Structure 1
């Protein structure tokens, strides 16, 4: 009888556990486990976290967002901070990896689709060996995080005990590489804005974690002479990332040189814009008060947060390659090309369609939640007194959907209903576009229905 029941469960799982469901159920499961653990009295220093605050913190950690309604360093005990550390790691590596490994350990058969979902998460070529992907991801993660923690330890050990420095280094290295932005310092990294070692190390971890595992793998193979040329995906990801970092830093410097950067040392005037340009794309650490920036700088951060990191990475956003494909689409159309060409290659029309769908769905989700946040029945103030809420809530929504974690200071002040809305947006930002892309790619039956064409006026 038990064997028949187990067989029935295996058959049900193999039939019903589609790639999209692996993502969604995996994230939900880890988030709920984290919520329960964080709500325990042992996870807090003084009073236990409320259920909504525990759910918010768990979701933010698993979705590697970094938005916080509590002070991670002051409100959580060592065990509570450790829980967020594991949640960040699980969310950064990808729930798919852990879900597939969990199913394998439980004795469930891993279907070809389940293997394909891991391949599609980290690489763009389905021909790469499945186990090789998992092994490479784990090795790269361990080596990079260990190296980052070692360097940060040397920076944090000044003025603190060895044990404290080790914990701070490990926590911030994992948080940075997984592009989360959780910090056990109350002011994030504002106290280290003049420290080149901390700034450069954290920036490096964010960039490497957000560039994508396949990009790292291809670059390593190229340096070893095992690969003749880099793929179009890798070249687009590297070039777009470089442009965004440099352009963002230059714009922030120009826009803030007479304001928040005024009177600071030359070193700080270089490090601060560069750091915020890097972290705004999907991490959430800050070395300055975001709420004190000019409106123009906030606009720059909004664009960087919306674009985010690269596919197959620990970061979020619509992805650098999506932004690049959209730009290439417009550029090729202006030149009269019907196809999207780059580096003597043509990007498939299906990829272009997915890009447009993902960007539109992301923008729609942000507008929807921002509109919801703006509705506050209890507010009786005139419009000119509440105008600033629009920018603050829009910034919060883009940060949540892009899994960034930067805030203009409104996160702890959100009502319970608003917190739940941000939780939904963080979850959608982490699994939504990716799940949509994978469900379209891995569909077993593609519908190719066409009718008689008829022109519609546009533009």
Structure 2
């Protein structure tokens, strides 16, 4: 059946209920595309901005919000309260995941979720059982609302006395949702750099970013652990890897930026420098918020930040990138090869070959996307610094949102390149995971051939 026919008649009636004709990857890209288009139209309304936005500014902003990236070609202060609410709704929807809302909507309507769409939801949340699918969706939404509400209340303690009740509450709500979903949007022109010395704001936002980046399955297992259940291999890998990544990155940033007068070197007090380094170590893996001037970071720190953006956070979270577990699996494969082991393993459990193949494919896909984006940018933006373009390409491909300040200076072809990179970076790895999870075994097995590696 052709794509055009499936798009014109996306639903069909079956004896057991109505079923969606579209394949999961098509549904994902179509969903993000429709949300971006809807957001574009809403942002073009006169009530959304103090000065009318151009169509490409509205499109870029809406796509960045839906893909929870955070790259901007406008200042969010140019948006009215209505425009800011539209922006918040877009990255809340994008953060929770389009497929989650699709599954919930179908369930509420009494419609059947086809097996192939359940597969995609399973891949999105690293969930291996279909029995508790509706329970998982409810857990996702309830946990999101709970954490965002707590974050808002704690941020309000810091911002309501300073900015007044209504504006302080709105700031708190906006940044709590942005932080948890890794959206990267703020209501200030300089992100959170003015909050670099505030321990409460830093602690709350860092906690929101980490909680949103662990993945809902890990959070659900942590909750179940209180009842005596054991953590799965996935959750143990996520928790250990997240801890060591944050610790190593924080120490590296401290060493690299300690004497930089425009970043850590310009801050007074050991505590302020530590929390600034910690924030900068946490935010590249999903959030896009910053308390240090990203453009002022030294080149080694910039490269480290790009690596963290490529890695991302956990499966089933709002983050993109190759994911932490993918990195760990690749490292375990390398360790297994060096040791001469038959199969990679962790915590007394072997890693299946299918997981290894998936990790290699996802990592390669993300790297190719970032490289292609950078390649096009070097053509469309001949006057820009290579490091700035590379940073922008990695940030868009990983749906992070950090920038060295050149996003609004890019040409229209450059901005469209980032739009495509944000969409593919958000939906591509999930779609690739679906194809790998549902591939059919071939009936023909070929004789092995020798290929020299290294």
**TM-score computed with the length of structure 1 as normaliser:** 0.92
Q: Are the counterparts in 2 of residues 119 and 133 from structure 1 also a CA contact under 8 Å?
A: no
Distance 1:425 1:211 in 2: 23
Paired residue for 2:136, among 130, 133, 137?
133
Superposed, 1:39-438 pairs within 5 Å as 39-45=44-50, 47-72=51-76, 74-104=77-107, 108-225=111-228, 227=229, 229-259=230-260, 260-265=263-268, 266-376=270-380, 379=382, 389-438=385-434
- Shift of the 349–448 alpha-carbon distance from structure 1 to 2, 3 Å rule, reads farther
Shift of 1:117: 2.5
Shift of 1:123: 3.3
Shift of 1:457: 2.2
Deviations 1:403-455 (A, max 9, x none): 11100011010111100000000011100011101122134x33353212221
Shift of 1:124: 3.0
Q: Are the counterparts in 2 of residues 64 and 92 from structure 1 also a CA contact under 8 Å?
A: yes
Distance 2:150 2:443 in 1: 50
Task: Answer with 107-116 or 423-432: which moved more.
Answer: 107-116
- Tell me the secondary structure at the aligned position of residue 422 of structure 1: helix
Shift of 1:104: 4.5
Shift of 1:116: 3.3
Shift of 1:338: 2.1
- Shift of the 7–296 alpha-carbon distance from structure 1 to 2, 3 Å rule, reads closer
- Shift of the 135–104 alpha-carbon distance from structure 1 to 2, 3 Å rule, reads closer
Paired residue for 2:33, among 23, 28, 32?
28
Task: Answer with 264-273 or 408-417: which moved more.
Answer: 264-273
Shift of 1:108: 4.6
Distance 2:53 2:155 in 1: 30
Q: Are the counterparts in 1 of residues 120 and 430 from structure 2 also a CA contact under 8 Å?
A: no
Backbone CA RMSD of aligned residues? 1.9
- Shift of the 171–351 alpha-carbon distance from structure 1 to 2, 3 Å rule, reads same
- The residue number in structure 2 matching 1:382 is none
Distance 1:8 1:135 in 2: 26
Shift of 1:128: 4.5
Q: Are the counterparts in 2 of residues 282 and 305 from structure 1 also a CA contact under 8 Å?
A: yes
Task: Answer with 355-364 or 115-124: which moved more.
Answer: 115-124
Shift of 1:127: 4.6
Shift of 1:263: 4.5
- Shift of the 124–70 alpha-carbon distance from structure 1 to 2, 3 Å rule, reads same
Paired residue for 1:38, among 43, 47, 50?
43
Q: Are the counterparts in 1 of residues 11 and 20 from structure 2 also a CA contact under 8 Å?
A: no
Task: Answer with 110-119 or 349-358: which moved more.
Answer: 110-119
Paired residue for 1:10, among 9, 12, 18?
12
Q: Are the counterparts in 2 of residues 61 and 87 from structure 1 also a CA contact under 8 Å?
A: yes
- Tell me the secondary structure at the aligned position of residue 258 of structure 1: coil
Residue ranges of structure 2 left out of the alignment (5+ in a row)? 1-7
**TM-score computed with the length of structure 2 as normaliser:** 0.93
Shift of 1:11: 3.9
Shift of 1:48: 1.3
Distance 1:142 1:197 in 2: 20
Q: Are the counterparts in 2 of residues 176 and 283 from structure 1 also a CA contact under 8 Å?
A: yes
- Tell me the secondary structure at the aligned position of residue 14 of structure 1: strand
Distance 1:433 1:213 in 2: 17
Shift of 1:374: 0.8
- Tell me the secondary structure at the aligned position of residue 10 of structure 1: strand
User: Aligned residue pairs: how many?
Assistant: 441
Deviations 1:62-106 (A, max 9, x none): 11001111111x211111110110111111110001122334456
Q: Are the counterparts in 1 of residues 119 and 434 from structure 2 also a CA contact under 8 Å?
A: no
- The residue number in structure 2 matching 1:383 is none
Distance 1:8 1:337 in 2: 48
Shift of 1:29: 1.4
- Shift of the 28–437 alpha-carbon distance from structure 1 to 2, 3 Å rule, reads same
Distance 1:424 1:7 in 2: 26
